[in-house]
Amino acid sequence: MPSLFPSSPFGPPRAPLSAWRLQVADARFGFAWYCGHGMIVTQAAVSHGTVDAAHAYHDLADRVIAHRADDLKAAGGLYVIHDLRLLETYDSDARKAWSERMRSRERGYLRGSTVVVNQVSPLLKMAVAGINMMTTLNLGSKVELSLNLAETLRQHRVQAPGPGDRFP
């Protein structure tokens, strides 16, 4: 189970999220924040993605979907920004588990997603392209790639959660 406030199994989040109050630190994948308006921001703190990490993140997303239904409806669905700048490799079963969890949800739950990377490696580009095709066909949303987390946060008007905000 993820640890909530204030410790982290791998030190603080990296900039520009380093100033954000910690909501979730999970040793299987990294950090997560619920920022209101149907927005989740995650930051990988691991360099290798596993099936367990995929399920850990999706368990958190399921909590948001269940407990913030009104917020998601008002926002037009869930939007997720994944900071994967540290992620270098992943198990092929992790990609399959990720896609299966997304497909298991009702169409329209996801209004979109942005994946932030340091550079677009062929492996990551292929993974994002595959997930984008699946989300477009099955969920009616789009996955975008970005090389700049700060700009992505600005573009989507994401603000750090306030002192009273908590991950559901």
Residue ranges of domains in the chain:
17-155
pLDDT in tens, 26-39: 999 999 999 999 99
- How far is the CA of 73 from the CAs of 60, 67, 77, 128, 135, in angstroms? 18, 12, 6, 26, 19
Contact 109, 76 (CB under 8 A): no
- Return the higher-pLDDT residue of 6 and 146: 146
Mean per-residue pLDDT of the chain: 86
Residue 89 reports pLDDT greater than 90:
no
Q: Where are the alpha helices (DSSP H) in the chain?
A: 51-67, 69-75, 92-103, 122-134, 149-155
What is the tens place of the pLDDT at every residue in 148-166? 999 999 999 999 998 777 8
Contact criterion met (CB below 8 Å) for 79 and 39: yes
Question: Which of the four pLDDT bands, split at 50, 70 and 90, describes residue 117?
Answer: confident
Mean predicted confidence (pLDDT) in 4-14: 68
CATH architecture of 17-155: 2-Layer Sandwich (3.30)
In this model, does residue 138 exceed pLDDT 70? no
Res. 4 pLDDT band, cuts 50 70 90: very low
Nearest CA to 108 among 153, 141, 60, 61? 141
Q: Does the model's pTM come out above 0.75?
A: yes
